[in-house]
Amino acid sequence: MKMTKKERILATLNREKTDRIPASFWRHFYEYETDAENLAGIMVDYQKEMDWDFMKVNFRESYHDEAWGTKYEFYKDGVTKPKQLYYPVKTLNDYNNITLLEPLKSAPLKEQLETLHLINKSLGGELFFVMTVFTPLAVIVKLVGNVDVLRDHIKNHKDIIHKVLNNITASFEKFIEEALNTGISGLFYATRHWASNDYFTPEEFNEFCRPYDMRLLNIVKDCPFNILHVCQGNNMLQKLSDYPVHAFHWDSSDPTNPSLKHGMDFVKGSVMGGINHRTTIVKGTSSDCIREAEQSYSATGGKGWILGAGCTYPPSAPVENLKVLRDWGK
């Protein structure tokens, strides 16, 4: 019996049998990401072309920090990432400028809410769509502009960092509450670098990320579809397996990370990924893509797994590779 997209996702989250393997892949559309109407339009057009089982709305990542004074140069060639030009935190005193935001009065945040409203209207309830939010510490590093400087502040000025983390978290609490009014199905919540053992110890993560993550995830606890994206290699996925989400997404093709099969042993809900976004999608053939999909199917048994890439795939990836993966699942 053919399932709807929402039925297929919900069954997968419960590790139940589905009529086919659900799939979703996403990319940036850099040239459209500075305007709500343009971004909503290209996201909906992309969904119509590719027919994914859910939509991960790929905002420009800088929407998180622009309202606190960062500056970027944006390009219109479709392949060049925005370049950060200005970092507002030059001294410890500059942290005092990272104050609580009101989403409807903050141009970057308001723009994203407008995008979500437009997407929801266009999708008409056909599929789940999730919005992207980063762990608050990932916002601070964009304000400081240097990981090593931030690590020094974390070590020697904890009180200041926790104060700023509280202001950023409180701002995004308000933002997510407003986003719920747009019809989103949940969050795509990303740890960025900080849930990697290459950047942080688990103890540091538990102090500077986990409590703030939980505040934000608590707001969407009643949503049907929340995803945790654990970024980077050498990740802390197993230590984050108790996060209150429905699906866990990570780069399982990275040999320093758990495989999909291993991840299924300790996370609850579903796992996502299985396709190498750096090599296979970009440089591989259609046969290479299918081979990786089949390997992931064997590893998971075809239940509790959403086919996808380990992260956002590059705009240069051949659309034929994406379409063969979409059709394989059918």
d(CA 243, CA 188): 13
Predicted local distance difference test score (pLDDT) of residue 12? 98
Place of tokens 């939010």: 133
Predicted local distance difference test score (pLDDT) of residue 329? 73
pLDDT along the chain (330 residues), means of 10: 96 97 97 97 98 97 97 95 97 98 97 98 97 98 96 97 98 98 98 94 97 98 98 96 98 97 96 97 96 96 96 96 91
AA identity, residue 246: H
For domain 5-328, give the CATH number.
Answer: 3.20.20.210
CB 315 within 8 A of CB 27: yes
Predicted local distance difference test score (pLDDT) of residue 255? 96
Predicted local distance difference test score (pLDDT) of residue 206? 97
Predicted local distance difference test score (pLDDT) of residue 287? 96
d(CA 256, CA 220): 31
Predicted local distance difference test score (pLDDT) of residue 201? 94
Predicted local distance difference test score (pLDDT) of residue 1? 80
Transcribe 240-257 into DSSP letters. Answer: GTTSS-SEEEE-TTSTTS
1 burial type by CB count under 10 A (0-12 exposed, 13-18 middle, 19+ buried)? exposed
Provide the residue ranges of all domains of the chain, joining segments of one domain with +. 5-328
